[in-house]
Structure 1
Amino acid sequence: MGGMSLVAGTIGRLRSAPRIAVLEPIEAGATVLVFLLMSQALLGQLVESEPGSDGPAILRIMWLPVYALGLVWLLARPMPALRSISRAPLMLVLAILCMVSATWSLDPGLSMRRGFAVVMTVLFGFAIASRWDWKQLITLVAITNLILAVGSVLAILAVPSFGIQQEIHVGAWRGLWSEKNTLGAMMSYGMSASLGAAAVMPRRKLFWLGVTALQFGLVIMSTSKTGLLAALL
């Protein structure tokens, strides 16, 4: 009887103990990594693609683990995933329509591949929405844009021929991208994320305001007028 009581007591304590979210940091890191891939940082500079094509095979293969991760998240949390999809079902319908368009496309293979990419990207968006709450998601997006800002500064300082335009718009900063306007656009997006992080994390408000200032400085140095307008708005 004493042994049974000990076992029952141990099980009870284990059930009442707070769960250690071992996977959460890994999932957060994976989310940030996917966001970095979506930013196209470095890819435009390192991998060239021909106009009218769906890009090098390496880029298509690179996204397969991302699609798999999204499906795992959807299947692991089916009810939250269904709730997310139910709030914006037309997004999924339009994505599927992209695949269906292959039936009347002049290049069915290309249309099918791109349609598949659209569907899987939308599903990944639903997976993200069902996995993270607003505060967590804002934080992850802000961290992603912080990494991009710091990476751009390092590229500009360490390898000016890489981070600064040398032919067209000479002297304009482009950071991790192939064109200055992309840096301006990405940093204007980053400013919104950093301001959001400052709002949801009051204790780190000064830090995120400093990040916002850094990103605004990059917008200025990119000489992107559209990026500047977006940042000011």
Structure 2
Amino acid sequence: MIGQYAESLRVADPIQASAKPHLGLAVFALYTLLGFVILGPFTTVGAASMEGVTLGSVSESGSGSLMRQLGYIGVFFITLTAARVLQHPGRLLALPLSLTLALGWCWLSLLWAVNSGVSMRRVLLTTILIWSIFMLVQQIGFKKTIYAVQIALLLTLAANYAAVFASPSLGIHQTAQIGDPDLVGSWRGIMVQKNHAGALCAITILLYYFAPDKMNSAVRWGVLALAAYFLYRSGSKTSLRLTVPSLALGWLYTFYSPRYWYVAVAGLTGITVALTSSIVAYWDNLVATFSRPDALTGRGQIWPVLIAYWSDNWLLGSGYGSFWNIGPESPIYQYGTGWVVRLGQGHNGYLDMLVQIGLPGLVLAVCALFISPLLRLLTSYTIIRRDGALLIALLLFAAGHNMTESTLLDRDTIVQVFLALTAALIGVAQPPSRGS
């Protein structure tokens, strides 16, 4: 089925690749990058020790994985070769200005980082990944990128099911983790953690539901059903709760007219202001609610620690990547107590960016990865509605996911990688052909 589907998607075959070797090389680099993103945690913790790993806490010293780092550097050089930057140096300028400024602030934060060595490794990895993604998408184009990603997700879904049924000790969580006592029995497949698997299933649903071209109905609905069931069995609450709203927003976009973009922007701004004001006004009640054992696994005990640190370091923060997992000098040991200090993330991407790169950095990151791409979708008169529906659904999913998980500008986390892919795809989305 996979072979027939790949043929129907018209992914570059060997003849096409030989005619355009740079295109074939770019597709290879994209598959390699996605492979490292999906399987990269194995290179860090190993399959045998995954059960004791808390999401985001792979290395308490910040040393990371040399294999993973070299792998992404290799992908970057393959990307440079595929883009033929020696002949076309302008292709190095693939990043939009807003994203360049956001990454530039992250690099600038090395000047005041708590651990500049760890910060440099992490910001370098983040920069290489985002830069590679934008250059690859510009080389491959919108439709071929979507096709390649769909096939990668289909293969991953098949591997996840195979792991669950062939090796339950690997594919199903057997022990609880810090902050998640109900983890036992959750499906994760070949992923390091069930939240990774859940997020990838949700993204698979969005990419197959809003497929750019006509697809065999049996294939589409078969993949959707399998991905939805695995998402349910993963028990990933955040991804479960975001999938339907993301689908609904994408569906509404198919009826949207950019003539009313200012109304949409005003409405979204009003909703954002109202939500922010409500959160500030009822913060104590929210914290009390989230502190219950059955509510978001104790995030109410994590977030006040981050708020406390940020209130003391609101402008600059600790430096990019210099808050969690950097050893005994981590600020978490000064502000947190108990099980919170053993975590590897704050379970909120916006708060984690606040404590790392301060308020200016968070504003730059949100503008670059959410606001600017969203405005482009809302104001475009030429983008195909179905393509825009997929992209806006992915934006909403990533924005909501960062409310309870930390992936924003966080190296090769799955949601961050797909957020970067979404922003890059918005930049190359094609206008509809005549008569469409």
Does the TM-score normalized on the shorter chain lie above 0.5?
yes
Report the equivalent of 2:46: 46
Q: Is the 8 A contact 1:188 1:227 kept in 2?
A: yes
State the TM-score, normalized to the length of structure 2. Answer: 0.44
Percent identity over paired residues: 22
Report the equivalent of 1:28: 27
Q: CA deviation at 1:81?
A: 3.0
Cα distance in 2, alignment partners of residues 20 and 222 from structure 1:
39
- TM alignment of 1:61-210, pairs within 5 A: 61-74=70-83, 75=85, 78=88, 81=91, 84-85=94-95, 88-168=96-176, 169-197=183-211, 200-210=212-222
Code of the aligned partner of 1:212: L
Could you list the runs of 5+ residues in structure 1 that have no partner in the other structure? Answer: 1-18
State the TM-score, normalized to the length of structure 1. Answer: 0.79
Distance 1:92 1:77, change over 3 A: farther
Which 4+ runs in 1 deviate beyond 4 A?
none
Cα distance in 2, alignment partners of residues 206 and 29 from structure 1:
28
Q: CA deviation at 1:194?
A: 1.6
Distance 1:20 1:50, change over 3 A: closer
Which shifted more, 176-185 or 151-160? 176-185
Q: Is the 8 A contact 1:149 1:187 kept in 2?
A: yes
Q: Is the 8 A contact 2:73 2:128 kept in 1?
A: no
Which shifted more, 182-191 or 205-214? 205-214
Cα distance in 1, alignment partners of residues 146 and 99 from structure 2:
21
Report the equivalent of 1:217: 229
Q: CA deviation at 1:26?
A: 4.6
Q: State which structure, 1 or 2, has the greater radius of gyration over its C-alpha atoms.
A: 1
Which shifted more, 172-181 or 157-166? 172-181
Q: CA deviation at 1:25?
A: 4.1
Code of the aligned partner of 1:170: V
Which shifted more, 171-180 or 67-76? 67-76
What is the root-mean-square deviation of aligned Cα atoms in Å? Answer: 2.5
Distance 1:132 1:105, change over 3 A: same
Q: Is the 8 A contact 1:77 1:130 kept in 2?
A: no
Cα distance in 1, alignment partners of residues 92 and 226 from structure 2:
39
Q: Is the 8 A contact 1:81 1:126 kept in 2?
A: no
Code of the aligned partner of 2:167: V
Q: Is the 8 A contact 1:195 1:208 kept in 2?
A: yes
The structure whose residues are more often helix, as a share, is 1
Cα distance in 2, alignment partners of residues 228 and 203 from structure 1:
25
Of the candidates 46, 56, 70, which is equivalent to residue 65 of structure 2?
A: 56
Cα distance in 2, alignment partners of residues 76 and 195 from structure 1:
39
Report the equivalent of 2:340: none
Partner secondary structure for residue 39 of structure 1: helix
Larger RCO: 1 or 2 (CA < 8 Å, sep 6+) = 2
Which shifted more, 184-193 or 202-211? 202-211
